[in-house]
Structure 1
């Protein structure tokens, strides 16, 4: 019987240890993500408005009701979006310049046509902070229809599947290495 190669075995064991550690890290991330999603769900039900921060909102404010004052609009654009009836179409957006000197992306509302800009030229905006970050206007602005409200339940918490993948990678590496050692022992 041949000796087990020390360097190769250490490399495989180090790789397997790293994969197992990554699996446990994903399990921790799963709990953190669940807490974050619960925080977002709670913020969504809080009807009190927060002022849009000068540097833009951090993730802790996502799904909160907010307001801002758009002193000037510099750009209109469109992205895929859904209305409150869950119909596909376009979300019309505007880049707003704030009195504080910063900018904010405002989702004005929904339309079926990407080139429909609306007539909005700025002013006070009320809505919900969505990831991006962007403020989804509620009520909609510029004669557009209402967007589907941002919903934190649409964010995936797939860290359990990532953890399972890492554990399976580690198991696969061990099985393959055992097969290589077995073949080497025979040869």
Structure 2
């Protein structure tokens, strides 16, 4: 009969403990996200604020805001939908707001063609605050401590562009319960597989 694998058991036990800890953390995040969604729902009825502002905080999401773009320094195009749910091309401008002030990201509207050339030259912008597009991998965004960039969703849009969609709470994901269940299942499967492997080893 072979000896009991002490070192391997310790390593597997640590891995299972880490999976359980991640599941508990996701349950905590679920509660935090639910409280945040309540706050964001209330934001839609609060008075407008000046944007951008420091510090950057997700508690500002869906708050009505106004900003002044001195000059758009660049544009980029991303696929998306307009206020009617139609497919289009989001026109996103990066603006200069002052010599030393923070920059401003603003989605000025939705174009029907991907090669549309915005003629917008900046100025006063009103709308609501939302997250800028984030192309980081999902795992990187979950564990990153760096806050997501906020941008202003213009309402009304720039001339010649379709209206942007309104604030939508369903766009803020709350998948933490599913993540927690996954981590707990991973821990259970790892424990069962290792127990079977050890049992066969000891019987060999």
TM-score, normalised relative to structure 1 = 0.91
Gaps of 5+ in 1: none
Q: Which residue of 1 aligns with 2:11?
A: 11
CA shift at 1:130, angstroms? 0.9
CA contact (8 A) 2:52 2:104 kept: no
Stretches of structure 2 lacking an aligned partner (at least 5 in a row) = 133-149
- State yes or no: 1:164 paired with 2:181: yes
Aligned residue pairs, count: 186
Residues in 2 aligned to 1:26 and 1:17: alpha-carbon distance in whole angstroms:
14
Q: Deviations over 1:57-107 (max 9, x none)?
A: 421211111111111121222211211110010111222111353211111
- The answer to whether the aligner puts 1:174 opposite 2:191 as a matched pair is yes
Alpha-carbon shift at residue 114 of structure 1 (Å): 2.0
Distance in 2 between residues matched to 1:56 and 1:92, nearest whole Å: 26
Are 2:92 and 1:75 aligned?
no
How does 1:145-160 map onto structure 2 within 5 Å? Answer: 145-160=162-177
Q: Which moved more, 1:56-65 or 1:164-173?
A: 56-65
Q: Post-superposition shift, 1:54?
A: 4.7
Greater mean alpha carbon deviation, residues 139-148 or residues 4-13: 4-13
Q: CA RMSD in A?
A: 1.8
**What's the offset of the Cα at 1:172?**
1.0
CA drift of 1:176 comes to: 1.1
TM-score (norm 2): 0.84
